[in-house]
């Protein structure tokens, strides 16, 4: 054992011995190795800054996507729709949480369902709620990135979308890069020392060249290589050095490519989530109608009312719902796009399509709905579904956004339904008395006039002038105050029309005036 140790010490002395020139070359090689180490750590630091920047960019992009996809759900206070949008992004790598809150800090949607309908109370969130609507990086430390983006509807601030992503994957990748860098650095120190010891003068010029390349690469010129075409040790060192640079550059490219792929996949997931959410939202009512038809068939059979005609009519109603569900797949894309092209559409047919969605739900709430024509047109009972929903011939033709117009009609029907139900709860009308919603179409000069009347008790004169204001609601925590505000924006700004409300006996009437298309009937 002692002889072995003595042999090692002698070898060490021989390696350190020799001429001053040899020691100088060894020193130069060590300096070179140190420079390479600096380069590696500098490269790792640059990569760290780059990856952190990418994480912030991805978090911001994800928050912007969430804000854009959440607008319609926030306006409608649709917790289910928001849940679907948020959970479509829940598989994003490193996602800590995603949430949508209103301007008051109430959580409308969260990846943790238990947080929904709670209020934010931490200092960062409270500061956010009092901040002007803009993109904000709330936190960006070694552990996570937290970004908030305002949810806007036609320029109006209606809430915030927040996304937080962990830096853990970033830290793991940096550890791998650092490890590889240290390995290559150790290799470079050993190789440089051996080459300097044996090659002496010949190494000086080549090492200086490599050091120069290393310095330039450390300053960002990652494409440079030493390219010393020699068959000696210096040539080998040059090839190894270039190989190390290739490996580091390839690793950086792989990391960037992986991040790009994750962003593309996230974009696809967001689009799929929006698609599924839209279809699911549009399909709920027709699926419920089909369910009622099936249950009605069972009752008809049990009570002896089942017949061939009865079966035919039920099948026809079912096919109508299925046809609507099928057409929804083709229509829903434009339905949710913020910017759509205006088209000429049939006013009567569009309203009938909306009524077909809510008819069964209104009947279940003991509310009757009917539609009449008052402009000299022939009023024919509908042969498709409900006799009280007439078809006006010729139809009035308007120019605008039919899908957005449908949302306006749905909002008004919903307000009328809620008013009638609330009127019953206040015992202002008999519990057995039927609610009534009447849709009347008329024409004055070159404008179509749509009136939607109900017997829900009307609107208090103290607030009737405020109901189209943003965030004004009479429904307490159940309302957002955005439905009628958005209806006014759609009708008056997007379709050059007018919408207003007034009280009538036993209820209220919403009036919509729309300019007729140049070809105003068909």
Burial environment of residue 326 by CB neighbours within 10 A (0 to 12, 13 to 18, 19 or more): exposed
For residue 389, report the phi and psi dihedrals to the nearest 5 degrees. Answer: -100, 100
pTM: 0.40
Contact 342, 400 (CB under 8 A): yes
Q: How far apart are CA 522 and CA 442, in angstroms?
A: 15
Q: Kindly state whether residue 297 falls inside one of the protein's structural domains.
A: no
Residue 183 and residue 153 share a domain: no
Residue 139 and residue 115 share a domain: yes
Q: What is the pLDDT of residue 264?
A: 36
Residue 358 and residue 486 share a domain: yes
Tokens of 70: 């959440």
For residue 399, give the 3-state DSSP assignment.
strand
- Select from 150, 167, 184 the last residue of a domain: 167
Domain count, the chain: 3
Q: How far is CA 178 from CA 30, 42, 175, 247, 408, in A?
A: 20, 10, 5, 13, 58
Q: Which single residue is written with the structure tokens 């083709």? A: 330
The residues that bridge with 80 in the sheet, in sequence order, are none
Question: Cα angle vertex 469, ends 466, 471, to 5°?
Answer: 115
Bridge pairing between strands 507-521 and 396-400:
antiparallel
Q: Would you say the C-alpha torsion 374, 377, 378, 381 has a positive or negative sign? A: negative
Bridge pairing between strands 435-444 and 367-373:
parallel
Residue 514 and residue 366 share a domain: yes
Residue 363 and residue 502 share a domain: yes
Q: How many other β-carbons are positioned within 10 Å of the β-carbon of residue 1?
A: 5
Q: What is the pLDDT of residue 173?
A: 74
Contact 417, 367 (CB under 8 A): yes
Q: Kindly state whether residue 475 falls inside one of the protein's structural domains.
A: yes
Residue 394 and residue 492 share a domain: yes
Domain that holds residue 144: 77-167
Q: Kindly state whether residue 317 falls inside one of the protein's structural domains.
A: no
DSSP 123-138: HHHHHHHTS-SS-EEE
> Could you read off the pLDDT tens digit of each residue along the chain, which spans 522 residues?
444 444 434 433 333 334 444 565 666 666 766 777 777 777 777 777 777 788 888 888 888 888 888 888 888 877 888 888 888 777 788 888 889 998 888 888 888 888 888 888 888 888 888 888 888 888 888 788 899 999 888 888 888 889 988 877 777 777 777 777 777 777 777 776 666 666 555 555 666 677 777 777 777 677 777 777 777 666 777 777 778 878 877 887 777 656 544 543 443 443 344 445 445 555 776 777 788 888 877 777 777 777 778 788 888 888 877 877 776 565 455 444 444 578 899 998 888 888 876 776 788 788 898 888 887 766 666 555 556 677 778 889 999 888 788 878 888 888 888 888 888 887 667 767 788 999 999 999 899 999 999 998 888 888 888 888 866 666 555 545 567 877 888 888 888 999 999 999 889 999 999 999 855 444
- Select from 147, 167, 187 the last residue of a domain: 167
Q: What is the CATH number of the domain that holds 112?
A: 3.30.450.20
Residue 349 and residue 433 share a domain: yes
Burial environment of residue 410 by CB neighbours within 10 A (0 to 12, 13 to 18, 19 or more): middle
Q: Kindly state whether residue 331 falls inside one of the protein's structural domains.
A: no
Q: How far is CA 149 from CA 59, 68, 137, in A?
A: 10, 10, 9
Q: What is the pLDDT of residue 248?
A: 78
For residue 106, give the 3-state DSSP assignment.
strand
Q: Kindly state whether residue 283 falls inside one of the protein's structural domains.
A: no
Contact 107, 118 (CB under 8 A): yes
Q: Kindly state whether residue 220 falls inside one of the protein's structural domains.
A: yes
Residue 217 and residue 161 share a domain: no
Residue 232 and residue 160 share a domain: no
Tokens of 22: 């040899």
Burial environment of residue 221 by CB neighbours within 10 A (0 to 12, 13 to 18, 19 or more): exposed
Element (H, E) at 69: helix 20-76
Residue 207 and residue 124 share a domain: no
Q: How many other β-carbons are positioned within 10 Å of the β-carbon of residue 236?
A: 14
Q: What is the CATH number of the domain that holds 443?
A: 3.30.565.10
Q: What is the pLDDT of residue 503?
A: 92
For residue 396, report the phi and psi dihedrals to the nearest 5 degrees. Answer: -80, 135
Q: Which residues contact 329 (CB under 8 A, 6 or more apart)?
A: 279
Q: Kindly state whether residue 7 falls inside one of the protein's structural domains.
A: no
Residue 516 and residue 368 share a domain: yes
Element (H, E) at 310: helix 308-336
Tokens of 12: 């060490």
Element (H, E) at 392: strand 390-393
Q: Kindly provide the residue ranges of all beta strands, DSSP E only, lying in 50-175, ordered along the sequence.
A: 95-102, 107-110, 136-140, 144-153, 156-166
Smallest Cα–Cα separation from 464: which of 415, 422, 513? 415
Residue 357 and residue 345 share a domain: yes
- Select from 167, 190, 209 the last residue of a domain: 167
Helix axes 308-336, 347-364, angle to 10 degrees: 120
For residue 137, report the phi and psi dihedrals to the nearest 5 degrees. Answer: -95, 105
Q: Kindly state whether residue 266 falls inside one of the protein's structural domains.
A: yes
Q: How many other β-carbons are positioned within 10 Å of the β-carbon of residue 17?
A: 9
Q: Would you say the C-alpha torsion 161, 468, 338, 116 has a positive or negative sign? A: positive
């Amino acid at each position: 054992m002692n002889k072995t140790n003595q042999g090692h010490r002698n070898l060490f002395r021989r390696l350190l011995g020799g001429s001053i020139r040899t020691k100088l070359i060894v020193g130069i090689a060590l300096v070179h190795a140190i420079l390479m180490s600096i380069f590696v750590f500098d490269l790792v630091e640059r990569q760290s800054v780059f990856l952190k920047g990418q994480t912030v960019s991805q978090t911001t992009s994800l928050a912007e996507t969430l804000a854009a996809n959440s607008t319609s759900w926030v306006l409608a206070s649709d917790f289910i729709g928001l849940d679907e949008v948020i959970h479509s992004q829940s598989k994003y790598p490193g996602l800590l949480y995603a949430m949508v809150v209103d301007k008051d800090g109430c959580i409308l949607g969260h990846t943790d369902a238990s947080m929904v309908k709670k209020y934010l109370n931490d200092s960062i969130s409270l500061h956010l709620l009092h901040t002007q609507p803009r993109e904000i990086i709330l936190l960006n430390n070694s552990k996570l990135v937290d970004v908030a983006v305002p949810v806007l509807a036609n320029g109006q601030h209606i809430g915030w979308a927040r996304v937080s992503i962990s830096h853990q994957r970033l830290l793991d990748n940096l550890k791998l890069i650092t490890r590889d860098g240290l390995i290559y650095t150790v290799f470079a120190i050993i190789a440089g020392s051996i080459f300097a010891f044996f090659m002496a003068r010949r190494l000086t010029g080549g090492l200086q060249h490599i050091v120069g390349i290393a310095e330039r690469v450390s300053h960002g010129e990652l494409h440079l290589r030493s390219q010393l075409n020699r068959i000696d040790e210096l040539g080998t060192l040059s090839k190894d050095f270039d190989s190390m640079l290739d490996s580091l550059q390839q690793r950086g490219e792989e990391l960037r490519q992986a991040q790009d792929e994750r962003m593309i996949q996230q974009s696809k997931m967001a689009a799929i989530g929006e698609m599924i959410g839209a279809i699911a939202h549009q399909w709920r009512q027709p699926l419920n109608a089909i369910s009622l038809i099936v249950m009605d068939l069972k009752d008809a059979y049990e009570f002896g009312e089942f017949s061939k005609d009865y079966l035919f009519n039920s099948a026809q109603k079912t096919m109508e719902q299925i046809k609507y569900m099928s057409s929804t797949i083709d229509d829903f894309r434009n339905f949710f796009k913020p910017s759509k092209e205006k088209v000429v559409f049939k006013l009567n047919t569009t309203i009938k399509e909306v009524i077909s969605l809510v008819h069964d739900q209104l009947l279940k709430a003991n509310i009757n709905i009917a539609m009449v024509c008052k402009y000299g047109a022939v009023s024919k009972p509908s042969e498709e579904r409900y006799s009280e929903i007439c078809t006006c011939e010729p139809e009035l033709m308007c120019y605008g956004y039919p899908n957005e117009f449908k949302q306006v009609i749905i909002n008004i029907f919903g307000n009328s339904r809620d008013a009638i139900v609330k009127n019953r709860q206040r015992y202002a009308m008999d519990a057995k008395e039927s609610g009534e919603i009447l849709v009347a179409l008329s024409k004055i000069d070159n404008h179509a006039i749509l009136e939607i009347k109900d017997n829900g008790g009307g609107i208090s004169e103290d607030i009737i002038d405020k109901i189209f204001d943003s965030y004004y609601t009479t429904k307490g925590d159940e309302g957002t105050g955005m439905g009628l505000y958005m209806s006014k924006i759609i009708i008056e700004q997007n379709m050059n029309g007018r919408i207003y409300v007034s009280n009538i006996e036993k209820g209220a009437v919403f009036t919509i005036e729309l300019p007729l298309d140049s070809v105003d009937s068909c």
